[in-house]
Structure 1
Amino acid sequence: MKLVWSPETASKAYIDTVRSCELFHESGVAELVSAMAAGWNAQVIVETWSQGGVMPTSIGLEIASRHTGGRHVCIVPDERSRSEYVRSMSEAGMSSPEVIVGEAEEVMNGLSGIDFLVVDSRRKDFSRVLRLAKLSSKGAVLVCKNANSRASSGFKWRCVLDERSRRLVRSVFLPVGKGLDMAHVSALGGNSGSTVKGGKRWIKHVDRHSGEVHVIRR
């Protein structure tokens, strides 16, 4: 069984998020991630948040979880962040999702079946969170927000997936907000991105900036 896209649910979540986030200046990111999480019918939505972070993305994910009937979890590094997050969600008229305080290794070990994960690239442990995430057997969508902040870090999606029996279906970088770097990961046991036939190898390369897929035969 794989993730199945539902344009109707995505559209409803998008509209509800636009209405809820109209007073915020950070538009686009919240609506996009909300529509994606709802459209993929995500059942376990996880995000990372730190004190001082913006709230629209969290609002969008909470709205998406309502449409899918899924679980929304927010990971914060300390109690101060937890208190601020809960207060900010309340002030925005939203019920707070499940909030877990702790380091990446500790928290991610207790979460499984994640099919939609949003991390903040400004957090030093963002790549570790991605690497430790226990993804759903149906596949998953991974999102790095504020991706422009680590443009020179040498981050590559394959580096956080190389030890899994998964394949990177597609990755794309969008100039939305402060940069969104997204990846769609195959279901457990998915086929490799390269194939061998007649002594030749077909290698698929995805341009992370344009999203274009290039297939080369060697």
Structure 2
Amino acid sequence: MKLVWSPETASKAYIDTVKICKKFKESDHVELISAMAGGWNPRLIVEAWSSGTDITTTIALGIAAHHLGARYVCIVQNEESKLEYQTAVKDHGCLVPEVVVGEAKDVMSRLPEVEFMVVDGRRKDLYELFRHARLSRRGAVLLWTNGVKKCMARFQWDLVISGNSRLVRSVIMPVGRGLNIAYVKENRGFGKSSYRNFGRWITRVDQKTGEEHVFRG
């Protein structure tokens, strides 16, 4: 089994997100996130939210999770952030996901089979969250938002993806404050040592399109 794209669910999630998020400025990126989450049909959606950030991504993922019947979990930094987050979500009448508090390694160890994950780029534990994510054998879509463009261009997904998975494609999209997206699949037939034998990953960013090209050296 692998993640299979469903245009019907993607369309439903997108349309509902447009209706609800049209009052927010620069909502085009969350509409895309909702469509992607709905289209890839994940069974577990994970968001890592940063205090002081709006909850448009939560709205988008909540809509997708509702259409899919998927489990939706949000990770926050501490109990104060948890209260801030839950209050903001309830004020907007959104679906309140499961909210967990803790260090990246501990939290991600309790969330197996992650298939869709969105991390706010303002979190200091960005790398740790992705590095410790236990990805599904069906594959996974990983995104980070609100990142500084220069940091996004330098970011290398191979540094946070384990030897049990392999990067199929990554792209930086100039929507909202920027989206860095990676599609990851199970690394079948290769253990960690075999994975290293293929050499290091090399990334090149097209300065005109912002697209990141990844290949083995």
**Range into which the TM-score falls when normalised by the shorter chain:** 0.7 to 0.9
Aligned pairs, number = 207
Q: Tell me the residue number matched to 1:95.
A: 95
1:69-80 equivalence runs, <5 A: 69-80=69-80
Confirm or deny: 8 A CA contact 2:41 2:68 kept in the other structure.
yes
**Which structure's residues are more often helix, by fraction?**
2
Instruction: In structure 2, list runs of 5 or more residues that go unmatched.
Output: 192-197
Q: Tell me the residue number matched to 1:6.
A: 6
Question: For 1:167-194, what per-residue CA distance to the aligned partner results, in whole angstroms no more than 9, with x for missing partners?
Answer: 21100000111110000001352789xx
Confirm or deny: 8 A CA contact 1:6 1:41 kept in the other structure.
yes
Q: Tell me the residue number matched to 1:109.
A: 109
TM-score when normalising by structure 2 = 0.86
Query: Given the superposition, is the C-alpha separation of residues 214 and 151 from structure 1 closer, same or farther in structure 2, using an over 3 Å criterion?
Result: closer
Instruction: In structure 1, list runs of 5 or more residues that go unmatched.
Output: 193-200
Cα displacement (A) at 1:146: 1.1
Q: Tell me the residue number matched to 2:142.
A: 142
Distance in 1 of aligned mates of 2:214 and 2:150: 25
Confirm or deny: 8 A CA contact 2:140 2:184 kept in the other structure.
yes
Identity of aligned residues (%): 48
Distance in 2 of aligned mates of 1:215 and 1:80: 42
Confirm or deny: 8 A CA contact 1:117 1:142 kept in the other structure.
yes
Question: For 1:84-115, what per-residue CA distance to the aligned partner results, in whole angstroms no more than 9, with x for missing partners?
Answer: 11111111111210000111011111110100
Distance in 1 of aligned mates of 2:212 and 2:148: 20
* RMSD of aligned Cα (Å): 2.6
Q: Tell me the residue number matched to 1:165.
A: 164
Confirm or deny: 8 A CA contact 1:121 1:144 kept in the other structure.
yes
Confirm or deny: 8 A CA contact 1:121 1:150 kept in the other structure.
no
Confirm or deny: 8 A CA contact 1:171 1:208 kept in the other structure.
no
Query: Given the superposition, is the C-alpha separation of residues 214 and 98 from structure 1 closer, same or farther in structure 2, using an over 3 Å criterion?
Result: closer
Confirm or deny: 8 A CA contact 2:153 2:212 kept in the other structure.
no
Which shows bigger deviation, 126-135 or 141-150? Answer: 141-150
TM-score when normalising by structure 1 = 0.86
Distance in 1 of aligned mates of 2:34 and 2:150: 23
